[in-house]
């Protein structure tokens, strides 16, 4: 895990509007990969990430005095800059050069798309560039980041995101009524998977969902025709994990204030811990489950549904008692990759994607181009895909099952909206490169 950039905090966590303490003391205790750290911003606006134990006597620097030049340990007054340089050893006599021989271990920090990333690799190692994800390339107006804490092991949290059979099962009627999907995956590179889930709905219409998973703990899922979610998981320790997600819009700017307010209502600050959990049965309501929703845990916070699934397994799931089926082929593949990566690192090598990140991700985008539209069966099996989006929208408008389920007015309106969005996208001549990647074809 130390071969990759890890999300350490939201930039929002240093915003005095959300945490008034940050107006005078922008200092946070952070725990990543079982390691205790202190994250702070100095008077020049630079971020520093240091080991929490002071190199003098081991006192906790998370309680340090914040000063314009850095962080001062209250025990004996030793002061450290964001890069770990010891600036002052106050208790030493005049002329002492002790501070020139002392340095606190520091870790590179990079601010990107609303998140502070940390490089926890070996001391002296040169961190690579961040992966070339769309959420990092999008302008700030089209990207929004948030996070949340789950009280479970990081692997079982990540596996929920790469399980194509479960997404939105508790919330989405399509997933339940067409609950035997054809699941396929292919590797663009070792550790980089493209997952395709096909749900034939009628002879002419197939629901297609394409997602991507990048080792060790990132996946990208479609939220709508114009918005994706890139989600990363970082282990706090063996029994706690933070998820970070990035909403990326390929169309209109995002209403970030509204999105933030909606999600802040479900967590407690400063730790972004969910208000609901095992202590209250995740808000389960048996009457609601019987009469209104499939799961019985509300519809306002869909993250709660995944939280219940991964936390209710136990803080560390006992996988000796599980029974995986063919729909879990992606989870099986990821576990094989993980076991192989462990052996590779033990032998002194780099795990999957780490070498590619160090060398740059040029060519990955080309390797992930969607297959050409075809009227023949997808990959030689299953139902045919429409030859064009226009054809898909025509099939949508004329589908008797959907019309019967949702009424002719609703289906006709939906098809009209999709045609309008497609026409607007095709007619636009001011799209940036990141928007011009035929985003409709991803979904």
pLDDT, one tens digit for every residue, the chain (443 residues): 999 999 999 999 999 999 999 999 999 999 999 999 999 999 999 999 999 999 999 999 999 999 999 999 999 999 999 999 999 999 899 989 999 999 999 999 999 999 999 999 999 888 988 988 999 999 999 999 999 999 999 999 999 988 877 654 444 555 556 667 788 888 888 888 998 888 888 888 888 888 899 999 999 998 888 999 999 999 999 999 999 999 999 999 999 999 999 999 999 999 999 999 999 999 999 999 999 888 899 888 888 999 999 999 999 999 999 998 888 888 899 999 999 999 999 999 999 988 666 555 443 444 444 444 433 333 344 444 455 556 666 666 666 655 655 556 656 656 665 665 566 556 655 544 444 443 333 33
Contact assessment for residue 281 and residue 268, using Cβ atoms and an 8 Å cutoff: no
pLDDT of residue 433: 44
Q: Cα dihedral angle (105, 106, 107, 111), rounded to 10 degrees?
A: 170
pLDDT of residue 327: 81
Q: SS3 breakdown of the chain: % helix, strand, coil, rounded to 5?
A: 35, 25, 40
DSSP of 13-40? GG-TTT-GGGGT--EEEEEETTEEEEEE
Strand order in the sheet with 47-51: 27-32, 35-41, 47-51
**Domain edge (last residue) among 339, 367, 395:** 367
pLDDT of residue 56: 95
Same domain, 320 and 216: yes
Q: Which residue has the tokens 């989870």?
A: 331
Phi/psi at 115 (5° precision) = -130, 145
Contact assessment for residue 141 and residue 251, using Cβ atoms and an 8 Å cutoff: no
Same domain, 394 and 284: no
Contact assessment for residue 231 and residue 145, using Cβ atoms and an 8 Å cutoff: no
pLDDT of residue 228: 93
pLDDT of residue 375: 39
Contact assessment for residue 14 and residue 46, using Cβ atoms and an 8 Å cutoff: no
Same domain, 349 and 398: no
Question: pTM score, two decimals?
Answer: 0.79
Same domain, 172 and 38: no
By the 10 Å C-beta count (0-12 exposed, 13-18 middle, 19+ buried), 343 is classed as exposed
Same domain, 363 and 387: no
pLDDT of residue 374: 38
Nearest to 361 by CA among 133, 102, 111, 24: 133
Same domain, 272 and 167: yes
CATH assignment at residue 63: 2.102.10.10
As given in the structure block, the two tokens for residue 272 are 């972004």
Rg (C-alpha) for the chain, rounded Å, is 24
Any domain includes 77: yes
Same domain, 35 and 67: yes
As given in the structure block, the two tokens for residue 198 are 């096909």
Any domain includes 374: no
CATH assignment at residue 285: 3.90.380.10
Any domain includes 307: yes
What is the distance of C-alpha 130 from the center of its chain?
Answer: 14
CA 226, CA 394: separation in Å to the nearest integer?
Answer: 20
Number of compact structural domains in the chain: 3
pLDDT of residue 427: 60
**Domain edge (last residue) among 306, 332, 367:** 367
CA 418, CA 406: separation in Å to the nearest integer?
Answer: 16
Q: How far is the CA of 255 from the CAs of 58, 108, 141, in angstroms?
A: 45, 31, 8
Any domain includes 163: yes
Any domain includes 129: no
Same domain, 107 and 232: no
Any domain includes 376: no
Same domain, 386 and 331: no
Same domain, 356 and 407: no
pLDDT of residue 404: 59
Same domain, 276 and 300: yes
**Domain edge (last residue) among 119, 143, 165:** 119
As given in the structure block, the two tokens for residue 144 are 């929004």
Phi/psi at 389 (5° precision) = -65, -35
Contact assessment for residue 316 and residue 295, using Cβ atoms and an 8 Å cutoff: no
Cis bond upstream, residue 164 (ω within 30): no
Phi/psi at 314 (5° precision) = 110, 155
Same domain, 350 and 427: no
pLDDT of residue 421: 58
Q: Domain residues for 411?
A: 382-442
pLDDT of residue 183: 85
Contact assessment for residue 395 and residue 204, using Cβ atoms and an 8 Å cutoff: yes
CA 333, CA 165: separation in Å to the nearest integer?
Answer: 15
DSSP state at residue 99: G
CA 369, CA 400: separation in Å to the nearest integer?
Answer: 32
């Amino acid at each position: 895990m130390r071969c990759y950039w890890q999300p350490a905090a939201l930039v929002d966590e240093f915003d005095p509007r959300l945490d008034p303490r940050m107006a005078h003391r922008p200092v946070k205790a952070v725990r990543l990969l079982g390691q205790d750290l202190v994250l702070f911003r100095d008077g020049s606006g630079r971020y520093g990430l240091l080991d929490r134990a002071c190199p003098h006597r081991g006192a906790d620097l998370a309680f340090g005095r914040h000063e314009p030049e850095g962080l001062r340990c209250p025990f004996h007054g030793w002061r450290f800059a964001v890069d770990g340089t010891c600036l002052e050893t106050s208790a030493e006599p005049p002329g002492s050069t002790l501070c020139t021989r002392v340095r606190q271990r520091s870790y590179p920090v990079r601010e990107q798309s609303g998140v502070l990333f940390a490089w926890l690799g070996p001391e002296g190692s040169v961190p690579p560039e961040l992966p070339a994800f769309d959420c990092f390339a999008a302008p700030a107006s089209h990207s929004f980041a948030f996070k949340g804490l789950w009280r479970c092991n990081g692997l079982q949290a990540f596996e929920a995101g790469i399980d194509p059979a479960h997404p939105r099962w508790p919330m989405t009627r399509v997933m339940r009524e067409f609950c035997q999907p054809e699941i396929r995956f292919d590797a663009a590179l070792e550790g980089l998977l493209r997952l395709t889930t096909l749900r034939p709905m009628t002879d002419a219409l197939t629901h297609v969902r394409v997602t991507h998973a990048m080792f060790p703990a990132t996946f990208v899922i479609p939220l709508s025709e114009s918005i994706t979610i890139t989600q990363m998981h970082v282990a706090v320790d063996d029994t706690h994990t933070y998820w970070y997600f990035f909403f990326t819009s390929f169309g209109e700017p995002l209403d970030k204030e509204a999105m933030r307010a909606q999600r802040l209502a479900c967590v407690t600050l400063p730790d972004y811990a969910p208000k609901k959990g095992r202590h209250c049965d995740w808000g389960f309501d048996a009457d609601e489950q019987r009469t209104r929703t499939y799961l019985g845990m509300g519809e306002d916070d869909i993250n709660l549904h995944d939280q219940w699934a991964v936390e209710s397994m136990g803080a560390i799931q006992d996988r000796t008692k599980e029974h995986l089926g063919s729909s879990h082929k992606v989870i099986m593949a990821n576990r094989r990759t993980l076991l192989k990566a462990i052996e590779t690192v033990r032998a002194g090598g780099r795990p999957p994607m780490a070498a590619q990140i160090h060398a740059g991700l040029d060519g990955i985008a080309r390797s992930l181009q969607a297959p050409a539209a075809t009227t023949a069966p997808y990959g030689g099996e299953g139902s045919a895909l429409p030859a064009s989006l226009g054809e898909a929208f025509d099939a949508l408008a004329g589908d008797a099952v959907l019309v019967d389920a949702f009424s002719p007015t609703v289906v006709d309106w939906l098809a009209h909206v999709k045609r309008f969005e497609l026409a607007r996208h095709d007619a636009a001549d001011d799209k940036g490169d990141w928007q011009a990647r035929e985003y409709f074809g991803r979904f």
